[in-house]
Amino acid sequence: AQKVTQAQTEISVVEKEDVTLDCVYETRDTTYYLFWYKQPPSGELVFLIRRNSFDEQNEISGRYSWNFQKSTSSFNFTITASQVVDSAVYFCALSGDNNNDMRFGAGTRLTVKP
């Protein structure tokens, strides 16, 4: 069975602080895909990144970076120098190789205070 755990329910930081959102997953598939989505108050899920199970390279995109470690089944997301506009709920998700059925974590609500 596939499962995604985001243990942090809520995080509050002050602007310009760095923050890391944790994601731990479980799957029996050898090929799988991990995603991060952002959900602002408007409700629409915004795609941030996709990673396949064979690519453990860390990725950086501006202030965002992702650390994928198969050994610990983790796919953590770091925001550097956070901004108020980063306030949202962030979801980590997992899908197998043969379907579009994504399993989402419970989400982490990030609040960035000015």
Partner 1 sequence: KAGVTQTPRYLIKTRGQQVTLSCSPISGHRSVSWYQQTPGQGLQFLFEYFSETQRNKGNFPGRFSGRQFSNSRSEMNVSTLELGDSALYLCASSLASGRGYNEQFFGPGTRLTVL
> Does 100 help bind partner 1 (rule: CB under 8 A)?
yes
Question: Whose structure tokens read 């960035």?
Answer: 112
> Does 64 help bind partner 1 (rule: CB under 8 A)?
no
Phi-psi region of 81 (alpha: psi -120 to 50; beta: other; left: phi over 0): left
Applying CB under 8 A, the span of 11-19, 60-68, 77-85, 93-101 interacting with partner 1 comes to 93-101
The residue within the footprint of partner 1, chosen from 9, 30, 42, 61 (CB under 8 A), is 42
Cα angle, residue 94 at apex, residues 73 and 97 outer, rounded to 5° = 105
Alpha-carbon distance of 51 to 57, in angstroms, equals 9
Binding site for partner 1 (CB under 8 A): 31-33, 37, 42-47, 50, 52, 91, 93, 95-107
